[in-house]
Amino acid sequence: MLQIVNRKDRFILLKKNLASFWGIYRRNTMGIAGLVILVCFALMALIGPYFVTYTSAAEGIEKVLQPPSAEHWLGTDDLGRDVFAGVVIGSRISLVVGLAATVISMVIGAVIGIVSGYYGKTLDALLMRLTDIFLVIPWLPLMLVMAALLGPSLGNIILVIGITGWAGTARIIRSQTLSIKERPYVERARAIGSGDLHIMLHHILPNVFPLIFANTILVAAVAILSETTLSFLGMGDPTSISWGMMLHFAFEMGAVAFGAWWWLIPPGICVVLVVLGFTFIGYALDEVLNPKLRRR
Partner 1 sequence: MAEVLVRVRNLVKYFKTSRGVVHAVDDISFDIEEGKTIGIVGESGCGKSTTGRCLICLIEPTSGEIIYRGQDICRLKRSEMKKLRKEMQIIFQDPYASLNPRKTLLQIIAEPLLYNKIIRTKDKFAIEKRVLELMDKVGLAERLINTYPHELDGGRRQRIGIARALAMEPKFIVCDEPVSALDVSIQAQILNLLKELQRDLGLTYVFITHDLSVVNHFSDDIVVMYLGQIVEKAPADELFENPLHPYTQALLSAILIPAVGANRERIKLRGELASPIDPPPVCRFDKRCNYYCQDCDNGVPPLLEITPGHFVACHLVKPRGNATVKAS
Q: Which residues contribute to the site for partner 1 (CB under 8 A)? A: 2-5, 9-10, 13, 183-185, 187-194, 198, 202-203, 206-207, 291
Give the C-alpha separation, 35 to 33, whole Å: 5
What is the distance of C-alpha 209 from the center of its chain? 16
φ/ψ of 225, rounded to 5, equals -65, -40
Shortest distance (Å) from residue 283 CB to partner 1: 22
Instruction: Please name the amino acid found at residue 117.
Output: G
Pick between residue 14 and residue 52 the one whose CB is nearest to partner 1: 14
Pick between residue 215 and residue 240 the one whose CB is nearest to partner 1: 215
Shortest distance (Å) from residue 198 CB to partner 1: 6
Pick between residue 2 and residue 61 the one whose CB is nearest to partner 1: 2
- CA geometry: angle at 159 spanning 48 and 217, to 5°? 60
Shortest distance (Å) from residue 256 CB to partner 1: 53
What does DSSP assign to residue 204? I
Pick between residue 13 and residue 47 the one whose CB is nearest to partner 1: 13
Shortest distance (Å) from residue 211 CB to partner 1: 12
Helix (H) or strand (E) holding 165: none
Shortest distance (Å) from residue 23 CB to partner 1: 17
8 Å CB contact between 169 and 219: yes
Pick between residue 15 and residue 198 the one whose CB is nearest to partner 1: 198
Helices (H), 48-183: 83-119, 121-136, 139-150, 154-164, 167-180
Pick between residue 4 and residue 257 the one whose CB is nearest to partner 1: 4
Shortest distance (Å) from residue 185 CB to partner 1: 4
How far the first Cα of the chain sits from its last, in Å, is 32
Q: How many CB atoms lie within 10 A of CB 6?
A: 8
Pick between residue 61 and residue 191 the one whose CB is nearest to partner 1: 191
Nearest to 219 by CA among 110, 106, 134: 106
Strand partners, 76: 82
Give the C-alpha separation, 34 to 134, whole Å: 30
Shortest distance (Å) from residue 173 CB to partner 1: 16
